Amino acid sequence: MALDLLEAELAVELPAHMRAFARAHADGRPPPAAPLIARLASTLQTARNACMHDVLADRGLALLRLVAPLVIEDDPAVVVARAMPPTWQNLSTLAAQRDAAARARFGLSSVQLAHRLHGVDATRHDHDAPGPAIEGWHERDFAIDHTGIIDAWQAIAARTGVTGTVRVDRSKKAHPRAFVIEPKVEVVIVVPEVIDTPAARFAVLHELGHAVAALALPAGVPRVVDEAAASYIARLAEPPSWLPPRWPSELAAAARRRRTALAAMLDEIERGLPTLADTPSSAPPWALWHDPGAQGSYVEAEVIADRLAKDLGPNPPRGQLVRALKAERDRVDHRTRI
C-alpha cells in the first residue's frame, strides 16, 4: 500500500523534475533538487521493507536505486564536504562523509553500496595501465548535423525495436548526458552543439545507447546494464557497422580499450577511498566527485557488453538486444541483496 502510493507520487513528480534537470544541465546550471518525496527517510524505509518481500522485491530494489544515493548526498555533512573545492584531499574528506552516511543506514561504505545496488562484483579483473591517448580520436574531421543524429537513432530504433520518444537537445558547454523523463516512454539526450570528432560521435552513440535501455526496461535499471547498453550501441562505431556511413571509426575499438583501462584505474582509486595512494592528475575527475561508484559500473559494463556483442553477432535480428538486456537485468536483480 505505502509502496503503491509512493510509486504513484513519484510517477507524477519525476517527469517534470527530470525535464528541469535536463534543461539545467544543457544550460550549465546546477541541477534542481530532487522531489522531496524521493529524499524522505520514510521513503527509504518503504523501499527497504519492499526488498524483504519476495513479490515486492523488484519494485523495492528499483526504488532503492533511486532513493539511496539521494539520501546519502542529502546528509548534512556530505553537503558541506561536496561544497568544498574539488581537490584530491577534499575528495578524501567527501568520501569519508559519504561512508559515514552510508554505514549508518546500510552498514556499507558508499562505494560498496553503489556497487551492491548496481550489480558490480566484488571480484576484480586485471587491467593494463591506460596507454597514450589515441591519435586522431579528438581531431576535427567533419561535422554531423541534427539530421545525422536522427538518422542514427532511427537506424538504432528500427534494429532494436524500441519505441518511444528521444529528444536531442544541443548544448554549447554541457557534457553529453541522457535523462530518462519517463521509463519506456520518453528520453532527452543532451549533446554538444558541434559534433565534429570521432570522440564526439562516440559520445552521441553512447547516450543513444542509454536511450535504448531507458525505452526498453522499466525504471530502476542497474547501472551495469545501463552502461552496457550504452557501450554496446557505441561499439556500433567499430567497423563493420550497419550504422549510417559517417558514424563508424577505425579508431573506436582502441579508444574503447583505453577508456576501460582508465575506468579500471579510477575504480581502484575509488575503492581505496578515503585513503589516497597515487593520484593520476592534479584534480579528481568530475565523476569521482559527483558520481561515486560509477567507475566500477563502467568496468563491469564492458564485460556485459563483450558478452552482448558476442552473443548477438554483427547483425542481430530486431528485438534481440532488448531481450538480452532484460535477461542481464534479471540476472543482476536476482542476486542483489541489500
Shortest Å distance, C-beta 230 to Zn ion: 4
Give the number of other Cβ atoms within 10 Å of residue 28's Cβ. 11
Nearer to Zn ion, 230 or 332 (CB): 230
Its sign, for the CA torsion 221, 159, 319, 241, is negative
Instruction: For residue 303, count CB atoms less than 10 angstroms from its CB and return exposed for 0-12, middle for 13-18, buried for 19 or more.
Output: middle
E-assigned strand segments in the chain: 165-171, 177-182, 186-192
Q: Which stretch binds Zn ion (CB under 5 A): 222-230, 247-255, 301-309, 321-329?
A: 222-230
Using CA atoms, how far apart are residues 84 and 239, in angstroms rounded to an integer? 44
Q: State whether residue 190 is helix, strand or coil.
A: strand
Angle at 100 between CA 98 and CA 104, to 5 degrees: 120
Shortest Å distance, C-beta 227 to Zn ion: 5
Give the residue from 315, 163, 153 showing the smallest Cα distance to 241. 315
Shortest Å distance, C-beta 231 to Zn ion: 8
Q: Which stretch binds Zn ion (CB under 5 A): 20-28, 96-104, 195-203, 226-234?
A: 226-234
Number of residues that bind Zn ion (CB under 5 A): 1
The values of phi and psi at residue 249, to 5°, are -145, 135
Nearer to Zn ion, 144 or 230 (CB): 230
Per rule CB under 5 A, is residue 219 in the interface with Zn ion? no
Q: Which stretch binds Zn ion (CB under 5 A): 38-46, 59-67, 229-237, 251-259?
A: 229-237
Nearer to Zn ion, 44 or 189 (CB): 189
Nearer to Zn ion, 22 or 230 (CB): 230
Nearer to Zn ion, 14 or 294 (CB): 294
Nearer to Zn ion, 81 or 216 (CB): 216
Using CA atoms, how far apart are residues 74 and 101, in angstroms rounded to an integer? 9
Q: Which stretch binds Zn ion (CB under 5 A): 112-120, 224-232, 287-295, 321-329?
A: 224-232
Nearer to Zn ion, 213 or 269 (CB): 213
Q: Which stretch binds Zn ion (CB under 5 A): 6-14, 179-187, 228-236, 246-254?
A: 228-236
Shortest Å distance, C-beta 210 to Zn ion: 6
Q: How many alpha carbons fall within 13 Å on the CB side of residue 262?
A: 16
Residue whose CB is nearest to Zn ion in the complex, by number: 230
Using CA atoms, how far apart are residues 247 and 249, in angstroms rounded to an integer? 7
Q: State whether residue 91 is helix, strand or coil.
A: helix
Shortest Å distance, C-beta 206 to Zn ion: 6
Torsion angle in degrees (nearest 10) through CA of 191, 39, 76, 25: 10
Shortest Å distance, C-beta 294 to Zn ion: 8
Nearer to Zn ion, 50 or 211 (CB): 211
Q: Using the rule CB under 5 A, which residue among 61, 191, 230, 266 binds Zn ion?
A: 230
Positions in the binding site for Zn ion (CB under 5 A): 230
